[in-house]
Amino acid sequence: MEQVASGLVRLTFLVQSVYAEVGRGCELTPTQAQMLCVLREGPKGMAELCGVLGVERSSLTGLVDRAERSGLVVRTPDPTDRRAVKVALTEAGDRAAREFHEQITSRLAALLDDLSPTEQVRFSRSLTRIVTAAGVPLAIGPH
Amino acid sequence: MEQVASGLVRLTFLVQSVYAEVGRGCELTPTQAQMLCVLREGPKGMAELCGVLGVERSSLTGLVDRAERSGLVVRTPDPTDRRAVKVALTEAGDRAAREFHEQITSRLAALLDDLSPTEQVRFSRSLTRIVTAAGVPLAIGPH
DNA sequence: CAAACTAGTTCGTGGCACGAAGTAATGCAA
DNA sequence: TTGCATTACTTCGTGCCACGAACTAGTTTG
């Protein structure tokens, strides 16, 4: 139990540091990277984005502000609801998201290099089981 | 590859959220909790602590300041080097660290509940392999 | 139509991180 | 021993991120 917990915490630090490092390479903060990855699915309203990112509305405003200032996203008015906005990737944002996604995917997969192919598959499967059982949203979406 | 990366990121979010939640219950920020756990091994100098926590000195100063203000740690002068200080847990800090450690250990171990005993062992072993291969420090130390 | 609700923003606060620059003690070398 | 580089830590300025409370404006509902 002790073992597992320690391993999980250490793995988390490891993943976080890789995440941050790849982010820096793409000129993205970790939170920005996460947001851009989510937005690759398509434009989202602020509230919707809050849900996926697990963040309060007031936090998201600043997040989007900064990303917008950096030219990564744009706020467009929602034609069906004049209160609402849709946040969408710009060309540059899409490029950054694509690059980040590609790199993070390969860097993280490389962490399993020391495992045998069988172990890799088993590990990956267990991973999926654990996170789906706990109901964690995707965040680094496929595609 | 895609699968693995996504799983790792999601697991990381999951662990982080459990970590934060348990921390809140002990009135600790995640960073504080991490520091306290490290200090359970014994008093440490600032520089040494930086190394383990992976943080710059200037960041650590504030971290220790806040923890000291909360009565969790104390700075004591190092008798052998008048420039240096040792950061040590107070009674309250030790209590908090112990409580946090106990809870995080069981909460994280519980994440594997959906796996069969065999899978749990395999997963745990792979976990250890991955983090040791990557040279991640302990952070949530045994004992 | 008024009241209740929803979408987002603003504001104030605080934690955390960084790098650059500063202070003070130490150690080494001439 | 004197003097200079090194080390240990702090301070300062900046920026990101998070939160809750309070606000504006538009939408829905009774």
What confidence tens digit (pLDDT) does each residue in A117-132 have? 999 999 999 999 999 9
* B124 to A12: CB separation less than 8 angstroms, yes or no: no
B45: the nucleotide nearest its CA (via C1') is D8
Closest-CA residue of B relative to A104 is: B5
- Residue B57 scores a pLDDT above 50: yes
Please name the residues in contact with A23: beta carbons below 8 A apart, sequence gap of 6 or more: A29, A30, A32, A33, A100
Better-predicted residue by pLDDT, A2 or B75: B75
A78 dihedral zone (left: phi>0; alpha: psi -120 to 50; beta): beta
**Closest Cα of chain B to A93: distance in Å?**
20
Give me the mean pLDDT over the B76-87 stretch.
96
* pLDDT of B141 higher than 60: no
Report CA B36 to chain centroid distance, whole Å: 7
Quickly give A80 CA vs D25 C1' distance in Å: 15
A1: Cβ–Cβ under 8 A, 6 or more apart, which residues? B105, B106, B109
Judge contact between A34 and A53, C-beta under 8 A.
Answer: yes
What pLDDT does residue A141 have? 34
DSSP letters for B2-39: HHHHHHHHHHHHHHHHHHHHHHHHTT--HHHHHHHHHH
**Which residue is closest to A11 within chain B, CA to CA?**
B131
pTM of the full structure: 0.92
Residue A117 is predicted with a pLDDT of 96
Per-residue pLDDT, B86: 98
Query: What is the per-residue pLDDT for A138?
Result: 57
Which residue, chain included where needed, has tokens 């200090």?
A: B39
For all residues of chain A together, what is the average pLDDT? 93
Give the model's pLDDT for residue B93.
98
Residue of A3, A14, A19 lying closest to B134 (CB–CB): A14
Residues of A in contact with B108 (CB under 8 A): 4-5, 8-9
Q: Is the pLDDT of residue B1 over 80?
A: no
Instruction: Collapse the DSSP code of B66 into the 3-class scheme (helix H, G, I; strand E, B; otherwise coil) and give the result.
Output: helix
- C1' of nucleotide C10: residue with nearest CA: A58
Q: Is the pLDDT of residue A1 over 90?
A: no
pLDDT score of B140 = 40
pLDDT in tens, A67-84: 999 999 999 999 999 999
Tell me which nucleotides of strand C come within 7 A of a protein CB: 6-12, 15-21, 24-27
- Out of A7, A112, A129, name the one closest to residue B128 (CB): A7
CB of B31 lies under 7 Å from some atom of strand C: yes
Mean pLDDT within A12-30: 96
- SS3 of chain A: CHHHHHHHHHHHHHHHHHHHHHHHHCCCCHHHHHHHHHHCCCCEEHHHHHHHHCCCHHHHHHHHHHHHHCCCEEEEECCCCCCCEEEEECHHHHHHHHHHHHHHHHHHHHHHHHCCHHHHHHHHHHHHHHHHHCCCCCCCCCC
- Average pLDDT along chain B: 93
CA distance A34 to A38: 6
A29 CB-to-strand D distance under 7 Å: yes
